[in-house]
Each structure stands twice: as C-alpha cells, then as structure tokens.
Amino acid sequence: MVKHEVHLRSAEKLRDLCFKNGGIYIKLGQHLGQLEYLVPQEYVITLRESMLNRCPVSSYEQICEVFKRELGDTPENIFAEFDPIPIASASLAQVHVAHTHDGQKVAVKVQHAHMTETAAADHATVELVVNTLHRFFPSFDYRWLIDEINDSLPKELDFLVEAKNSEKCVENFRKLSPHVANYVYAPKVYWNLSTSKLLTMEFMDGAHINDIKTIRKLGIHPHELSKLVSQTFAEMMFKHGFVHCDPHSANLLVRPMPSGKRNILGWRKPQLILLDHGLYKELDFDTRTNYASLWKALVFSDVSAIKEYSAKLGAGEDLYVLFAGVLTMRPWKRVVDQSLDHLVFNGTESEISELQMYASEYFHQISELLRRLPRVILLMLKTNDCLRAVNNSLLQGSSLDTFFIIGKISSEAVIDVKMSQSKSLLSWLNVRLEKILLEVRLWGIQIVLWIYQIRKALSWSDQGLV
C-alpha cells in the first residue's frame, strides 16, 4: 500500500512537471506511459490517462497569432464560424470546431504557439539529462527514447506530413486491403486551409473507442470493434508496411457503417475512424517480413522460428525469450504453450501483478533489449502497447480473436512473400502446399472460435443493448 502511494505521488509529480514544461516533455511523458512492461502501473495509468487529449491549452490570442502567420487572417474571417474553446488539446496542438463559408463542419488542428522555436532547446535539455543519468548509472540507458523523439518530432510538427500520411493510409487500404477498406476511414483534408502548423479536416462524429456505453448505444458490440481494430493494424504492419504508431483511445473513433450494415445477430457493423496521422513508420521489406514471421511463430508457438526472427529483428540470440514476453505480455511458459488461448491476457489482478514482478525482476535486461532494437521495432512495441490498452478497454483483456487475426494476417503476408520469391515450379508447389495446410489449420481454429462465439452471443442477446 505504501509503495503504491509513493509511486502514485511520484507519477502525479512527473505528470505535473511535464504539463508545466509542455511540448516535448508531454511527448516524453506519453512515451513513458506506454512502457507498461517497464514502469510501475501507477505511472502507466497516470501518464496515459491524463496526457492523451487533456493537455494544457494555448490561449485564443496565441491561436490567432498562428492563423495570421500561417493563413494571413484571423479565424473569424477565414471561417464562417469558429469556436474559440478547443474540444481537445494534446502535446503539440489543440483542436477547434469551425464551419467553412460553404457550410461544412470542420475540425481545425492548431499547433501550440512557439513549438518549433522551443523544440530544439527542449530536446537538448532532455538529452543532457538522459545522457548524464546514463553516465552515472550505466544501467539507466534511455538514449534510444531521445533518438526516437529526435527522429519523429520534426515530422509530427509538420502538419502537411500528417495530411499526406492520412491520404496514403486510406489509399493503402483501397489498393492492398480492399476487403477492409470500407470499414476504415480517415477525415478528408482541406488542403486550401492547411499549412505545416495548421490542419483543417472534415469533422467526424463518433464515439471514442474506450467509451463502451456510447458504443453500445450506437448498436455496435465491443467484440466486433475489437476484431476490426486488430485487423486494421495487422494489415498495416504485415501487408502495407506503413503503420499508424499512435493508436491510443483519443485517436480512434467509431461510428456505425454509413451503409447501415448489420451482422447476423443484429449488431451494427462498426467503421473505425483514424485520427492524428502525424506519427507513422515505414517497415522495409525485410523488417516487415521478419516481423510478420515472428508474430506467426508467436501465435503458433514455434520456438525455433521465434528465436530465428527475434535475432533477425535485433534482439540477439540471448534475449529472444524476453522479446517474446515484451511483445505478447505473457511469460515464456505461456508463449510456448500449445493451447489455443496461450497468449490471451484476461487482465486479472494475478496476471497484472505477475507482469509487474517480471518488469521489476528483468528491468536491466528489458532496458538492454530496448537499447538493441531498431527504432522502427521500438515504434511497433509502442503501437502494440496502445492497441493492448484499447483491447483492455473494449474487452477487459485480450481475446482469442485478436490472436487468430494476427496469426492469420501475418501468415498470409509470409506466404505472399514466399510465393513472390518462388523461382521454380517445385518451390511454387511447396509454398502452395504450405498455404493449403495453413488454411486448413486456420479453418480448424475458426470453427472452434465460431462455436465459442455462438455460445457467448446467446448471452449477449439475452443482455440486449444494455
């Protein structure tokens, strides 16, 4: 109890310090809030919950300065209506609701004043602190976090990059994942009202992904939504190689499919709306293939493949067990278990305390692992942590479907690569046979899941839309 209160007070002081300094410090706090495999839960909860869309706001006068500098006029003249009170505020910007002169309702994202000017000095200060701590305490090595912020922050500060990322994401689904494309949406960009510091987008009505009560009122079942989230990001990671790396609850909205489509039980089909496209990572061909192969191995408990692809991704041959644990948040004995639900996390107190124990016991090894891994894989870990938090809010844990979807899409991606690299008829036939055997295995798992879901669906129907 005393330990909990000490951690909680320290986390609140750290949050207040980040808020006071703003900008990069809030960004750093957000990163720390995602490291649930490394820092105590009190830090995760405090930093994650308070730093998504409730950050300090810029004054209306400061917002007007940005408008005059970027578009040459005040918000009142540029828009027919402009609400001076922001509906959300994050580390780098805040969002206002406005109406264009032709009556379109839009969301206007405005960068906090002087962010670009202060970013370099703030980065240098944080870098000095982290390097000094590492010098006196060699096991405290968070220089990788500074490197990541140094790489990603300039891109996040350029809202035109964000706008292009948004359009590229939608195009990838249209071309590479047409079966999912209608279920994933990104707001339309108003290019004539956007600059590097100011972004005008279509206003989106929807429920935040952690607002279970509203989601149910919309006629959408959280389980269906969880599957869509898993499928969306698995397609990005394993097939597109272009990944939205900040999918926390403030950046994900849901609404019913505009077509009104329903499933066989009468629940409305969800459409996932992706917001804040500032932080994306591209996975090159080898990284994408190795990452897909690793997740395939994790889902199917293939120890030799876990070891092989962990090493190829930078974990080395000595830390593959730890890498598997960080990716799945499950102990090694569960990772290698052959049971269908071996990776499922139910979020019980015993499971959470077990994770905290491992985080404390292997703190130095985890720090070493994070130091070794390429930055692109560190961003995949961050993305996984965000998605895990989303699943926890939707399902109070993870589900069999989550890992079935990951296993299916990662396996399809690996097979596609092998097919494209087949040089002879014999190798093509071998890959074709592997694909058939995989599909049979997946169908077997799917049948088990259907039986399980039908049994649960009967209880959902009894509960109604409560």
List the catalytic residue out of 122, 158, 246, 276.
246
**Residue 274 neighbours by CB under 8 Å, 6+ apart:** 166, 169, 184, 185, 186, 232, 244, 247, 251, 252
Largest CA distance in the chain: 70
**Residue 15 neighbours by CB under 8 Å, 6+ apart:** 29, 46, 47, 50, 51
| 89's tokens | 């505020």
Query: Quick check: is 246 catalytic?
Result: yes
CA distances from 132 to 10, 38, 120, 366, 373 (A): 21, 21, 18, 20, 22
Catalytic center residues: 246
